Each structure stands twice: as structure tokens, then as C-alpha cells.
Amino acid sequence: MSESVYIIGAGIHPFGRTEERSGREQGVYAVREALKDAGLEWADMECAYGGSAAAGNADIMVNELGLTSLPFTNVANGCATGGSALVAAQQAIASGMYDLALAVGFDKHPRGAFNAKPADFGLPEWYGQTGMMLTTQFFALKIQRYMQLHAISRETLGRVAEKAFRNGAITPHAWRRSEIDLDTIMNAPMINDPLTKFMFCAPAEGGVALILASEKKVRELGAKGVKIAHIAVRTRPPDSFEVFQAGVSIKEGGKPTVLASKAAFEGAGMGPDDIEVAQLQDTESGAEIMHMAENGFCADGEQEEWLAKGWSERSGKLPINTDGGCLACGEPIGASGLRQVYENVEQLRGRAGERQVPGRGGTGPKTGYSHVYGAPGLSAVAILER
């Protein structure tokens, strides 16, 4: 039987643009914040896993943090880099090899859309020449198809963004700290139909660090933390429709998010009705809408009613993306998945300030769900409980 694993320290460097700090320095800042939160020193850490897509290897952080000879493994898995670092750290402790582990992610992207190379994803050059390596194109096409199949309106896309900016306005680590009204969102310049500029997230900067501990170590330290009920990662099955895919199958296939969500719920011994706060990948407004259904929280098409009635607001029956998600925080690839988990840690420990959700008992949520999705079709889900 594997060891139970807890998150006992959480640190974040604000997302957005920080010209005076490199991406790695933002990661170091987050690690120091997490150590402070856990009441530990860098020399106490037994192993580390971390990653960055555009800001250098994570293991170089030891130059600033200290040369303690701990094993530090670099992780690279697209938008799931942070989630994959968390999985590795969790498995290291669950195996019984270590009692303390660090998961860290950071990034510093240049301005503009992500600019991936076709060859990196096994694609021919013509795929990039058509403009499809720009993810804005893919996500617009995918949500167009979904809206037609399930009667989702453009106004619902706008409501997702409106909620995100409202939550981001009261979140200290968010990049976009101003509310934007629905009319402005709907009438903003069109980037890729049906998505306007306020319906997309932007490449950003930031860092997040989480310190994990075995149950034995938690007792030894007298630490406060939240339990990792289960983590699952899945890649795409046959006939799925994913980022950087050169065609769509006529046959309706499975989805990596559906598979990861099912595995996480089964491993945690829970179902969607047991979740009290959720952070879902919202690369753009349409992604949050589709992922609500893919993670099992509603049926396809029910999102129209959910957004109209405010069920995913902080005061709703399932608060979603309580810190503003990627739309308000931006997406530094290495840090984004860990930000979701950080937010759930803050919510479960009652430390989320103005954005704190009450939970069903009025004493804060007892369960938190985080989901990340990335190219070329992989998904990671982590469920926390206190």
C-alpha cells in the first residue's frame, strides 16, 4: 500500500510581467515562499522536480537555493509540466523513498501567441504554413464545432471571461486585476471567431512551488496540510480531437480529460458531486465550457444554464476558477498547472481572502479539483481533500 501524501507548503510568485526578474528567479521566489509556509529550510528537502518551457532548466535553481546535492529532476510536458512535476513528487513520497519533496514550475514567455514548431510535434511544415500551429486557430475551431453540436451561445463564452476577470480583480497573484463587463468582452476585437481578445489567456510569467510530505513527516513536524486524494495523467486515445492534430476523425473518439478525470475520481473514491471547488483549464473561454462537461460536472449543453444562473461563481454550487484562471492570470506554461493546485490549497486551508468560497458547510471547502490540458492531447487531474 502506498504512502499518503500531503501538501504542507505552498508559494507563488505573482503572474503577469516582472521585468526585473528572470523566470528562474520567479521560481526561486516561489520556493522560498513555500519553504517559509512549511516552516522548513532548503537543506531539509530530499528531492525536487520542476520545469519550464521557455526560461531554462529548473535544476539550475540550486545555484540560488543552495548546493545541498539533492536529486533535482527537470520535467517537460507542455502545459502539463507543472502537473507532471507534482505527479513525480507525489510518487516519490508514495513509494516510500522520500519524506519531503518539492514540485516547482516557472516560466517567462515573450509577448504574443505561443509559437510552437511543427517538427516538435511530429507534424509536417505545411501544418505550420496554414497557421494551425497558432493555438488560437485550433481552439476557435474546436469551440465552434462544440457550440453548434450543443447549442452554446457566444454570450456564454463572454460570461466565462466576465467571471474570470471578476475573480482576478480580488486575487493578489493574478495578472489582470480589473473587472471587464460583458458588453466590452463581446464587442472587443475578434481574434479567431467566435473568440474575442478578452476570451483568450496570454503567455505570461510566474512561478509556483509546492512542498509535499509523507504522513509520517506531517506528524513529526506537526504540520498543517491538505491530502492529495489522487492524481491521474492521461494522453489522447484513438479518434480524439486535440491540439496540433492534422485532421478530425469521422468517428467520435475518447478524450484525455475524460480518461484522467475518471481515473482521478476512482482513485480518490469520489465523484463530481463531492467536489466543492474546481480549477479547470481555461486557455480560452470555450475550454472552460468544454472541460466542465469533460470532467463530469455537467452534461454537454448544460453550461448555458450554469453560466446564466451563476452556478460556477464563487457563491455558486461549484465555484470554478476562483482566482480568475488562465484568463485573468495568464499562462506561464511551467507554472500554470501548479497555480491551480496552489489555489485549491489556499481555498481548503481557508487562506484565500476575498475570494474564499464558503463550501457546503460554511466552513470552507473540504475538497478541491484541478485539471490541466495541453498539447498534443494530454490531461492531468489532481484531487485534494482536508
Tens of each residue's pLDDT in the chain, 386 residues = 477 999 999 999 999 999 999 999 999 999 999 999 999 999 999 999 999 988 999 999 999 999 999 999 999 888 888 988 999 999 999 999 999 999 999 999 988 777 778 888 888 888 888 877 888 888 998 999 999 999 999 999 999 999 999 999 999 999 999 999 999 999 999 999 999 999 999 989 999 999 999 999 999 999 989 999 999 999 998 888 888 877 777 888 889 999 999 999 999 999 999 999 999 999 999 999 999 999 999 999 999 999 999 999 999 999 999 999 999 999 999 999 999 999 999 999 999 999 999 999 888 999 999 999 988 889 999 999 99
Tell me 314's DSSP state.
T
Report the distance separating Cα 247 and Cα 244, nearest Å.
9
Identify whether 124 is part of a domain.
Answer: no
- Alpha helical stretches, state H, the chain: 23-38, 62-65, 81-94, 125-129, 135-150, 154-168, 182-186, 215-221, 256-268, 285-294, 303-308, 325-329, 333-348
Q: Is residue 141 part of a domain?
A: no
Q: Diameter of the chain by CA atoms?
A: 58
334 closest CA partner among 121, 113, 104: 104
Q: What is the DSSP letter of 155?
A: H
C-alpha closest to that of 24 among 105, 79, 103: 105
DSSP bridge partners of 362: none
Task: Find the length of the chain.
Answer: 386
CATH number for the domain including 93?
A: 3.40.47.10
3-state secondary structure of 283: coil
Residue 189 included in any domain? no
pTM for the model stands at 0.95
List beta partners, residue 12.
208
Q: Give strand pairing partners of 101.
A: 212
Domain count, the chain: 1
Q: Is residue 183 part of a domain?
A: no
**Residue 348 included in any domain:** yes
Residue-range definition of the domain harbouring residue 83: 5-112+201-385
The DSSP bridge partners found for residue 103 are 49, 210
Residue 136 in domain:
no
Residue at 357 is within a domain: yes
Tell which residue, 232, 302, 292, has the closest CA to residue 261.
232
Whether residue 162 is contained in a domain is answered as no
